[in-house]
Structure 1
Amino acid sequence: YAMRVWLDPLALAQYKLTPADVTGAIQQQNTQVAVGEIGNSPTTKGQQLRVTVTAQTQLKTVSEFENIRLVSTEDGSTVRLKDVARVELGLESYGSSSTYNGHPAGGFGVQLASGANAITTAQNVHAALDALKGTLPDGVEIAYSYETTPFVELSIEKVVETLIEAIVLVFVVLLIFLQNWRATLIPMIAVPVVMLGTFGVLAIAGYSINTLTMFAMVLAIGLLVDDAIVVVENVERIMADEGLSPREATEKSMGQITGALIGIAAVLTAVFIPMAFFSGSVGVIYRQFSVTIASAMILSVMVAVVLTPALCVLLLRKHKQTESRFPPFRWFNKGFGAATGGYVGAVGYIVRRPLRFLVVFAALIGGAYWAYTQLPTSFIPEEDQGVLMTIITLPDGAN
């Protein structure tokens, strides 16, 4: 803050004063003066202290500034600062000001350091300011006009909800297609095991739970159950076709599909791993996503090779392939059988006319490329954070 002096031009002219006269008087009468020293030379024997004494000559209040003497007139009266100016305590600079909900405010911003965690930083700032509330004058409150962390927390919350929904949907789809709660339970057990291992990899890599890593987990949910489904379905098929026990069927099944499982994981990992080596800001954005989903894929095939066969032996039971007694399953099987027949017929029709459909395939590729070239491009998609920010520029000379 500062002491503001608003000069009255008419009063200055009346007393034949100039702004320079007022400035000089204020500088002369508002000084810090040293009045002497205690313990100055010559000193006495054993003296150990020497102190400079200053007088309280600097002015502090509005009334003290108002009574600054400017000049004495011919009739002996004194012209003081309050006679030619208005004095008030105000801002040091009026180039900028802050208000909050129409009330005067003093604002400052906290900039996140590079590599710092936004949510942790916001929590620490809130804790530090809460500790200062008791020292504030009456009527002064701490308010937060703009924060980015609530949007981050809400985004993570929505991704977690999507993750839960994905797990539920995977369970429903598995139950509909496998129509065996024991067979359905085995792939679902693989989900938390792989997720736990993936979070461990993220902790070792120094990554946090954010929208990118959680989105990768949502995408990985549908991919990681594939390996377990392949194992369970093949074991079920062997038991139904060859009449083997769960243990024998599992041993035979793993001998058939282990190489295929490793190949699937290798292909998927090869797709996502290169993104971890992108440079610049693109690499920062995609690296955590790539590491998360690649880790989930690798752990998925490990679980499918190690844990899933053991669960098949423990949970599956030898049974005959019969029609389901649950009506919704029978309806689904009937509709799925009809869809399968239609698909087989369509594939046969396409195979008998290869050249014609190669032309169609080439046209689809060309159409996809044309659509790609027509779409607008941007670095990252725009996000609606529920905040409207405006900048109003006044014309020159406006108050």
Structure 2
Amino acid sequence: MAALNQRPEIMYAATPFNISFPELEVNVNVAKCKDAGVNVKTVLNTLQGYYGGLYASDFNKFGKQYRVMMQSHPDYRGKEADINKVFVRTDKGLMAPITEFVTLKKSYGPEFINRFNLFTSTTVTGTPNKGFSSGDAINAINEVAAQTLGRGYSHEFSGLTKEELSSGSQTTLIFALCLIFIYFLLSAQYKSYILPFAVLLSLPIGLAGAFIFARIFGVDNNIFLQISLIMLIGLLAKNAILIVEFALMHRLSGRSITQSAIYGAKARLRPILMTSFAFIFGLIPLMLATGAGALSNKSIGTAAVGGMLIGTIFGVFVIPVLFILFQALHEKISGVHPPSHQPSPLPEIILN
């Protein structure tokens, strides 16, 4: 415990019990039990029945089944001297005082013994220090445990920390599945396996903006920020899809690739700015949240605002460039080029 409290990543670590609770340790003299013909298990079961309680049988009453628990009355087991009144049966049928086979020793230990995964355990609660994430605190606990725990001792995480560890190992898989889904969906829409990269490669700009804002406002890389990143993938991809879709329409109408990219960006600039900034202003209260649940709200809001702001500002310049590169690459590989003629007028709703 002292080693944990000395780590700068952890602000506070404590156990929930007092280890100086007075108790009596029972030691069984196996040699005397064999000489008197008393089974050690019989001695232990007798103590269990008188002091700890022992399940005896069941009985039915009023249509319900009840359990019968055998245990001595508190008045006859509350003092150390009460053990002199307990007797155990020998193999010859005689009753012998149990104090002939056991000795009591005063000691100190926890008031309650907890178990975790069938092992005797104790709970250690820690809090990350300011400027450190929960992942830093987890790594510090693992390092201290490896250095200080002796043979036969181990440690395991539970509760929210265990969920964080299990979800953290799935984060990469979740992001990969999101990107693969978007890629195949756009491949079917554009009828190209190359052009979807114009959308996918524009996403890192917005995701980097989320981490920049998180660093500026002191937000840790936690599970809530990662949830916000998954949301940003869809929002940022939507803006890129709009520009690429309109640029592709202009390209198919006969314009050059560069002209198509410029027309597509100009046509969707106002709608993208309106929807993106409306979304950003709507998340500012979440970014500045206080009170209960403020940490999770700040993590989601800060990442979403930073990602959308930087992704929108830089995306309107980067996405047309990506369209030019990958559309030219697509036409070069496929050998399919749109006819070069006077472009047909597009519907008014597209140019507005």
TM-score, normalised to structure 1, is 0.52
- Counterpart in 2 of 1:164? 176
Distance 1:122 1:200 in 2: 24
Matched AA of 2:153: I
Distance 1:3 1:264 in 2: 68
Q: Does 1:206 align with 2:221?
A: no
Distance 1:157 1:178 in 2: 33
- Counterpart in 1 of 2:186? 174
Q: 2:276 aligns with which of 265, 275, 288?
A: 265
Change (3 A) 1:4 1:210: closer
Write the mapping of 1:140-289 to structure 2, written as runs, cut at 5 A: 141-144=152-155, 147-148=158-159, 149-241=161-253, 243-289=254-300
TM superposition shift of 1:230: 1.3
TM superposition shift of 1:311: 2.0
Structure 1 gaps of 5+ residues are: 7-85, 322-399
TM superposition shift of 1:302: 2.3
TM superposition shift of 1:113: 4.8
- Counterpart in 1 of 2:321? 310
Distance 1:108 1:309 in 2: 56
**Post-superposition CA distance 1:211-244 (Å, at most 9, x none):** 2111111111111011111111111112222x22
Q: Is the 8 A contact 1:225 1:300 kept in 2?
A: no
TM superposition shift of 1:256: 2.7
Change (3 A) 1:131 1:90: farther
Q: SS in structure 1 opposite 2:236?
A: helix
Which is bigger in relative contact order (C-alpha 8 A, separation at least 6)? Answer: 2
**Post-superposition CA distance 1:143-162 (Å, at most 9, x none):** 33653433211122334322
Write the mapping of 1:69-108 to structure 2, written as runs, cut at 5 A: 89-92=105-108, 95-97=111-113, 107=122
Q: SS in structure 1 opposite 2:282?
A: helix
Distance 2:320 2:144 in 1: 54
Matched AA of 2:320: P
Q: Is the 8 A contact 2:212 2:306 kept in 1?
A: no
Q: SS in structure 1 opposite 2:338?
A: coil
Change (3 A) 1:279 1:197: closer
Question: What is the percentage of aligned positions where both structures have the same residue?
Answer: 12
Structure 2 gaps of 5+ residues are: 1-19, 27-101, 332-336, 340-352
- Counterpart in 2 of 1:291? 302
Distance 2:128 2:268 in 1: 50
Q: Is the 8 A contact 1:195 1:296 kept in 2?
A: yes
TM-score, normalised to structure 2, is 0.58
- Counterpart in 1 of 2:127? 112
- Residues matched between the structures, number: 237
Distance 1:143 1:98 in 2: 15
Write the mapping of 1:130-145 to structure 2, written as runs, cut at 5 A: 130-133=146-149, 141-144=152-155
TM superposition shift of 1:4: 6.3
Q: Which has the higher strand share?
A: 2
**Post-superposition CA distance 1:173-227 (Å, at most 9, x none):** 1111111334322001112332233223323332222221111111111110111
Q: Is the 8 A contact 1:129 1:142 kept in 2?
A: no
Q: If you compute each CA radius of gyration, which structure gives the higher value, 1 or 2?
A: 1
Distance 1:89 1:240 in 2: 92
Give 4+ residue runs of structure 1 displaced > 6 Å after superposition: 1-6, 99-103
Q: Is the 8 A contact 1:227 1:300 kept in 2?
A: no
Q: Does 1:121 align with 2:145?
A: no
